[in-house]
């Protein structure tokens, strides 16, 4: 695993490298340990405690939030990294490698909006419907570059937003190794989808294109494929929620243990049925035993797949998830995920909570839309307006967080790669609103919506 020395580096984005007084350059391990401290203490991780996993707005402490889910993914990722390392005697900074995997796992959901993937769908629909007319009001005709920028703005993806949130909004200045480990997809939101690997969703936005260019210059294999450790993060996520979502559904009373047992014994493969019977569903602590049995086999399977495809993973040519194999444990996990999607995520109670989220997200976007309809000169001079409409818009402007406004003011003036200054400003004005909304917790979205509804009279 000597090749990992080329992937585990202390480098940070150019222009943001840290000023240090030491005579010796910062080692990869010390840089990654510094990353770890920043990540654990950052506000996006704390906000995960009030973002949904399956059941929005649930008050039961035993039901998973995004934070508890991410902690479970982090532990699974750590076990996978240790298993992979145990099979190699090559020189590699094991502590740094394990930390990169752990922190990628902890951060994998920080860009998800309120109400999870349902929230993503709501936001994308609004963006595709409203942005063209708002741009026409604010700017007018677009340049030759504008269709690409508009396509970028009309896509919202939690993984791409994670990269933007941590780097461009929060300014954590993480190592390029840590940021690369977060990227599940190689396509930019401004690029058309091709037949290549990892093109399903956008992995970054145009606003982070300079950062991604630096990552790819440092790790050339990520130009066409993933950073190697991303495979372990993805597998850890799949393993963690495969059983956990069903456990939460039983705990919440949405699904009974008997119903789950009947479905498994009727439709599950022999391996899954054996795991179920051996875990003894009629005894206390059943889910812990069931999860442990399945996870033990999945840990072995994932680590074996990683090592089997190791050369292709390192050179960026491996194009399949580690769990996309025709083996019994992976098939069992896929069945559990499919059952949860059919029987839990489409349950009446879950959908009712998502309807509340739909109203709140659409409502907030609608209230703030007039800020996007303003020409740049009017938007930047809101503080001086005294008319009724100006006072209303100014108060909406004041709802935007100072950190987000600072990122907007910086990037709207100097971000590279934009051909037209007025399009750059409007692009980052939209990003300002999306950063604000996607960073909200489920409860904060509803509170903000209630406030704005009262504010509108």
Query: 282: how many CB neighbours lie within 10 A of its CB?
Result: 7
Is 237 a known active-site residue? yes
CA distance 299 to 113: 30
Q: Which of 158, 186, 182, 155 is nearest to 319 (CA)?
A: 186
435 belongs to the catalytic site = no
Spot the catalytic one: 47, 58, 64, 109: 109
Catalytic residue among 36, 66, 108, 252: 108
In which element (H, E) is residue 306 found? Answer: helix 286-308
Q: Where is 237: in which H helix or E strand?
A: helix 230-252
Choosing from 35, 58, 152, 237, which is the catalytic residue? 237
Whole-angstrom Cα distance, residue 206 to residue 164?
A: 10
What is the distance between the terminal CA atoms of the chain, rounded to a whole angstrom?
64
Backbone angles phi, psi at 188, to 5 degrees: -80, 155
Q: One of 395, 398, 410, 450 is an active-site residue; which one?
A: 395
Q: Which of the following is catalytic: 69, 187, 424, 431? A: 69
**If you write DSSP's letter for every residue of 375-396 in order, what string do you get?**
-HHHHHTGGG--SHHHHHHHHH
In sequence order, the β-bridge partners of residue 65 are 52
Calpha distance 288→430 (Å, rounded): 45
Distance in angstroms (rounded) separating the CA atoms of residues 441 and 366: 18
C-alpha 92/C-alpha 79 separation (Å) is 17
**Does 109 qualify as catalytic in the annotation?**
yes
Catalytic residues, by residue number, are 69, 108-109, 237, 395
């Amino acid at each position: 695993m000597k090749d990992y020395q080329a992937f585990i580096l202390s480098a940070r984005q150019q222009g943001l490298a840290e000023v240090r007084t030491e005579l010796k350059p910062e080692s990869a391990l010390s840089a990654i340990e510094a990353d770890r401290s920043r990540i654990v203490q950052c506000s996006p991780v704390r906000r995960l405690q009030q973002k949904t996993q399956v059941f929005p707005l649930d008050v039961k402490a035993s039901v998973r939030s995004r934070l508890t889910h991410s902690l479970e993914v982090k532990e699974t990722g750590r076990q996978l990294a240790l298993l992979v390392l145990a099979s190699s005697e090559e020189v590699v900074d094991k502590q740094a490698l394990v930390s990169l995997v752990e922190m990628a796992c902890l951060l994998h959901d920080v860009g998800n909006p309120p109400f999870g993937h349902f929230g993503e769908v709501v936001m994308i629909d609004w963006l595709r419907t409203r942005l063209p007319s708002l741009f026409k009001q604010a700017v007018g005709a677009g340049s030759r570059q504008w269709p690409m920028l508009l396509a970028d703005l009309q896509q919202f993806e939690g993984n791409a937003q994670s990269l933007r949130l941590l780097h461009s909004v929060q300014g954590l200045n993480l190592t390029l190794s840590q940021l690369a480990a977060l990227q599940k997809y190689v396509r930019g939101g401004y690029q058309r989808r091709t037949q290549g690997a990892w093109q399903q969703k956008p992995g970054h936005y145009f606003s982070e294109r300079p950062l991604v260019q630096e990552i790819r210059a440092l790790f050339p294999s990520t130009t066409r494929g993933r950073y190697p450790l991303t495979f372990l993060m993805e597998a850890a996520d799949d393993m963690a929620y495969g059983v956990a979502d069903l456990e939460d559904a039983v705990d919440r009373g949405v699904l009974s243990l008997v119903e789950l047992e009947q479905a498994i014994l009727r439709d599950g493969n022999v391996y899954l049925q054996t795991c179920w019977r051996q875990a003894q569903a009629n005894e206390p602590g059943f889910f812990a035993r069931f999860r442990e049995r399945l996870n033990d086999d999945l840990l072995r399977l994932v680590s074996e797949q990683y090592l089997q495809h190791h050369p292709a993973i390192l050179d960026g040519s491996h194009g399949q998830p580690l769990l996309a194999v025709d083996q019994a444990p992976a098939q069992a996990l896929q069945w559990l995920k499919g059952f949860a999607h059919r029987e839990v995520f489409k349950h009446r109670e879950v959908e009712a909570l998502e309807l509340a989220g739909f109203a709140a997200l659409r409502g907030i976007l609608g209230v703030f839309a007039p800020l996007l309809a303003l020409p740049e000169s009017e938007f930047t001079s809101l503080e001086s307006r005294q008319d009724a409409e100006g006072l209303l818009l100014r108060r909406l402007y004041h709802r935007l967080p100072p950190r987000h406004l600072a990122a907007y003011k910086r990037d709207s003036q100097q971000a590279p790669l934009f051909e037209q200054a007025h399009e750059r400003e409007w692009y980052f004005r939209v990003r300002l609103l999306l950063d604000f909304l996607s960073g909200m917790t489920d409860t904060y979205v509803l509170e903000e919506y209630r406030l704005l509804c009262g504010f509108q009279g």
